[in-house]
Amino acid sequence: MKLGIIGCGAIGKDVAKAADMMNDIEKIYLYDINPTAAKDLCSSLKKASIKPVDIFLKDVDVVFEAASQQAVSTYAATVLEAGKDLIIMSIGSLFDDAFRRKLEDIARNNHRKIYLPSGAVCGIDGVVAASIEKLDNVTLVTTKPPASLGKSVEKRTVVYKGTARGAIMQFPRNINVAGCLSLAGIGFDETRVEIVADPVETRINHKILAHGRFGRLRAEVENMPNPNNPQSSYMASLSAIATLRKILHPIQIA
């Protein structure tokens, strides 16, 4: 398989380095809006080269996005129309209902798949299963060190409380997990999100609470920040790598 990567930041680096070690990955193409980031990453890989997205599209099987919501808006439809599968990390981009439906239609018409890694949370599989029946409520409580939210507070402070849609609009680079949870469960307007900045915290905490006909679900994870970007959880990178391995592996754990 040949892999294209859009975005050579912390998550893109982690995925590229993991892919470089996978026997089933034949070639890796890198693109970043910052040429230096792509060059630095390419120099540490054996299978990689740098090409613009419109150039490498004809050669790849799967494209992995780890750049920004703007990158998804710019490239997602083009990738799918080219007949390539797409892995999206900037899941908050899909809160735009019309845009999401457009991508779904393009993927369906071209017999392609859009993969959404679960990111820095656990329990998404349970929410997906529970949503087959009635889900009464789903809540995400995220607690982060203030610096990772771009905040400066002296005590534990709730910086946002409302819908997942509002959380993604206010914190587009910090709360992609809310997008994944919303799509897995009851949607962007019904999923509740609380974001807390806590100067005592050194880890990033995500807690999912769900209640419905299936019973009750509580899933909590304390993530170490990515060493290359404290705003991102290292689990997000691991989730992306797991998604790539899932695409390659003949046995699928649902």
Active site residues: 206
CA distance 254 to 252: 6
Which residues, in sequence order, are CB contacts of 249 under 8 Å at separation 6+? none
The long-range contacts involving 70-73, CB below 8 angstroms and separated by at least 24 positions, are 71/6, 71/7, 71/33, 73/99
Per 3-state DSSP, the chain is made up of helix, strand and coil in percentages (nearest 5) of: 40, 30, 35
Does residue 87 contact residue 75 with C-beta atoms inside 8 Å?
A: no
**Token code pair at residue 237:** 């990178």
Contacts 24+ apart (CB under 8 A), 216-220: 217/123, 217/126, 217/127, 217/130, 219/121, 219/122, 219/123, 219/126, 220/122
Distance between CA 234 and CA 4 in Å, rounded? 21
Strand ranges, E, within 135-184: 135-144, 157-163
Q: How far apart are CA 240 and CA 124, in angstroms?
A: 14
